[in-house]
Structure 1
Amino acid sequence: MRLAYDLHIHSALSACSDKDMTPNNIVNMSLLKELDIIAVTDHNSAENLEAVVKCSLGKDILVVPGMEIETMEEIHVVCLFPGLDEANKMQEIVYSNLPSLKNREDIFGRQIILNEYDDELGSIDRFLLTAVGIPIEEVYRTVLSLNGVMIPAHIDRNSYSILSNLGSIPQHFGFKYLEVSKKACIETLKKQYPEVGECSLIVSSDAHSLPNISERESFIDIDEKSAECVISKIRNG
């Protein structure tokens, strides 16, 4: 089946996001835009995933649990998991490797935890928008051990991408999919980095506000509408 997706969306837990990026608003906007599959991928945290999944129950949309991790090399990677348990296990590992920095709400904004009714449960004082003390190799292995998949995020950007920070895409990872921004010049990217042409490309929104969530324009072909099928497709090609 051919399904429309957006696999990179931030909730109000990400300090850089609008505070109206609540679980219900994200799910309902995604439905209005006729998306079939979404992933909420907050920076280094999975605190709002359960609420988003609960909001999706009974609605014609699949929520894949996710997280955008900033590796030790300051590379952003989108990590997707088959369930909340796996995402929460990854969160424990990430939290144990986060530097002890306090969030400056006056500069970066609040990191808000919400329930499925969009009620505010509190906020995270620890600064999430930073690199964790885990190298990309270890993030890759850990996500794989949790039956998830790691995707290099927005590889066309001049910062926080695997190309900008490593200068190439190490072949031993065996990536089948790479994420690019909506406005990426694909042909220029492929000329500069031939290895990009060997992979399929995911175009997600990296939305930090409701209007920026993707329209029904990017599609994935899978046998079943499930997180496991999405992960298997991205991992195996």
Structure 2
Amino acid sequence: MLKVFNCDLHIHTCLSPCAELDMHPMLLVKKALEKELDIIAICDHNSSANVPYVIKAAQASKLRILPGMEITTIEEVHILAIFDSISNLSLMQNIIDKHLKGENDEDSFGVQAIVNEKGEVEGINNQLLIGATDLSMDTSINYIHQFDGLAIAAHIDRDSFSVFSQLGFIDDNSGFDALEITPRTGFHGARTKYPELCKYS
């Protein structure tokens, strides 16, 4: 019989422009344990700088941390890239850094803080993390797989930054390993809304 795990594979830290500054590694681990989660994936926008600190913050607990990031493609499609090691995630980060342009405007998008496992600020990321890379969706997926990662189409039922909102469809040969559905739609709602995608369920 398969073992069931309680997971959240789309968690942002204070590094992401859309996140609050109190979403630092130590507090995220505490909240995940309070929710009795077994596994979480840290997927900040276009950056993985806080991932090692979340892993350190969880070392003394039973919580498993999966290294990841949320990539924004040139089509403005969000993809969750999840890996089994920091080293493979770092290879993906090197690619993203070469293809992400612009500097962050803190007045518009907030501070992008790199915070360690003790809650101390280690630095500020000045890249425009909210922006899109110049990598296509197909190229991004290919890189993720090249580095032994999983490519998950993020929040496909959202009206923005999803493969449906940007492209209108998911090709059978897209290469996605899984699809993310938001709680507002739910698993059963998704099977009704997207019957052509039931192969992913």
Same topology, TM > 0.5? yes
Q: Looking at both structures, which has the greater relative contact order when contacts are Cα pairs under 8 Å and sequence separation is at least 6?
A: 1
2:67 to 60, 65, 73: 65
How far off is 1:70 after superposition?
0.4
Aligned pairs for 1:97-176 (under 5 A) are 97-99=99-101, 101-176=102-177
| AA at the equivalent of 2:39 | I
How far off is 1:5 after superposition?
0.3
| AA at the equivalent of 1:169 | I
How far off is 1:58 after superposition?
2.1
Give yes or no for contact 1:111–1:123 (8 Å, CA) kept in 2. Answer: yes
How far off is 1:184 after superposition?
1.6
How far off is 1:176 after superposition?
4.8
Is the alpha carbon distance of 1:185 and 1:23 closer, same or farther for their aligned partners in structure 2, counting shifts above 3 Å?
Answer: closer
| AA at the equivalent of 1:77 | I
Give yes or no for contact 2:141–2:176 (8 Å, CA) kept in 1. Answer: no
Is the alpha carbon distance of 1:56 and 1:190 closer, same or farther for their aligned partners in structure 2, counting shifts above 3 Å?
Answer: same
- 1:38: which partner in 2? 40
Is the alpha carbon distance of 1:81 and 1:154 closer, same or farther for their aligned partners in structure 2, counting shifts above 3 Å?
Answer: same
How far off is 1:16 after superposition?
1.3
- 1:178: which partner in 2? 179
How far off is 1:18 after superposition?
0.7
| AA at the equivalent of 2:98 | S
Give yes or no for contact 2:9–2:42 (8 Å, CA) kept in 1. Answer: yes
CA–CA distance in structure 1, aligned partners of residues 72 and 185 of structure 2: 21
Identity among equivalent pairs (%): 37
How far off is 1:125 after superposition?
1.4
Q: What are the ranges of 5 or more consecutive residues in structure 2 without an aligned counterpart? A: none
1:143-182 per-residue CA deviation (whole Å, 9 max, x = no partner) reads: 1111111000000011100111111111013545210111
Give yes or no for contact 2:141–2:175 (8 Å, CA) kept in 1. Answer: no
- 1:21: which partner in 2? 23
CA–CA distance in structure 2, aligned partners of residues 186 and 62 of structure 1: 23
How far off is 1:127 after superposition?
0.9
How far off is 1:10 after superposition?
0.3
Is the alpha carbon distance of 1:148 and 1:104 closer, same or farther for their aligned partners in structure 2, counting shifts above 3 Å?
Answer: same
| AA at the equivalent of 1:130 | G
- Normalising to structure 2: TM-score of the pair? 0.94
Is the alpha carbon distance of 1:174 and 1:113 closer, same or farther for their aligned partners in structure 2, counting shifts above 3 Å?
Answer: closer
Give yes or no for contact 1:168–1:193 (8 Å, CA) kept in 2. Answer: no
- Normalising to structure 1: TM-score of the pair? 0.80
Give yes or no for contact 1:41–1:68 (8 Å, CA) kept in 2. Answer: yes
Runs of 4+ in 1 over 2 A off after TM superposition: 173-177, 185-198
2:90 to 88, 96, 99: 88
**Partner SS for 2:151:** strand
How far off is 1:12 after superposition?
0.3
**Partner SS for 2:173:** helix
**Partner SS for 2:45:** coil
| AA at the equivalent of 1:64 | L
How far off is 1:197 after superposition?
2.3
Is the alpha carbon distance of 1:176 and 1:149 closer, same or farther for their aligned partners in structure 2, counting shifts above 3 Å?
Answer: closer
- 1:214: which partner in 2? none
